[in-house]
Amino acid sequence: MKRILIFSTIFILLIMIANLMKIGSLLTALALPFTQNTALSRPNGTEMNAAAPNFYQFKMKGIDGKVIDFSQFKGKKIIVLNTASKCGYTPQYEGLQELHNAYGGEDFIILGFPSNDFGFQEPGSEEKIADFCEKNYGVTFQMMSKVKTSAKGGHPVYQWLCNAAQNGVSDAKVSWNFNKFLIDENGRWTAHHASRVEPMSAEITSFARGK
C-alpha cells in the first residue's frame, strides 16, 4: 500500500512538472514579440570605460574576402547588424539600402554581418550571400564575412557589442536576425535595437542624421 502511495505521489509530481514546463514555454512565446521590440541605449552622460577595448581595434574580412581595418571608420556613425537571406526580416535589406542612399558617406555607414545563428536562415557561402543581396536588393553598403553573434563564443566584434566589460557601456543579447547596434562617431556603443525596428524608423534615421 505504501509503495502504491509513493508511486502515485511521484506520478502526480511528474505531471505537475510537465505542466509547469508547458506554461513556461507558452510564456516565452508570448513574451517574444515584446522582447523583439526592446531597445537599450547608453544613458546621457555615460562615458565609455577607458580600459575597454576600442571598436576601432578590429580587423576582419569583408564579404569579398578583403581585410577591412575598422580604424578607417573613425569619425563616422555606424550601424552594425546581423543579416540573413531567408528570414521574415530579410526585406529590411530594402530599407537598409534606402538608408545608405540617403545618409551613407563621410559621416555614416552600415556594416552588415551575415549570420546563420537563428533558424539556419543564412546557410550559403559569402559568394552566394553577396550575389543574393546584389540581385534582390541592389545592396551597395558594406557587407562582412559570416559570423557568430553570441556574447561568449561569437566573433570578437559581437563579443564587444554584447559585453559591457568590453564596450564599457552595456550588456546586450542578439535575439534574432537584423538586430541593430548603433556606434557613435567616437566609437562608443550608443544603442541596441531589436529586429522589428525598421531601418527607416525615426530611431535609426535620427541617429544617421546626427540628431
Which element (helix H / strand E) includes 134? Answer: helix 126-137
**Residue 133 annotated to the active site:** no
CA dist 183 and 78 (Å) reads 5
- Burial class of 44 by CB neighbour count within 10 A (0 to 12, 13 to 18, 19+): exposed
CA dist 50 and 52 (Å) reads 6
CA dist 182 and 205 (Å) reads 11
CA dist 22 and 16 (Å) reads 10
| List 87, 99, 111, 172, catalytic entry | 87
- The amino acid that residue 28 corresponds to is T
The residues assigned a catalytic role are 87
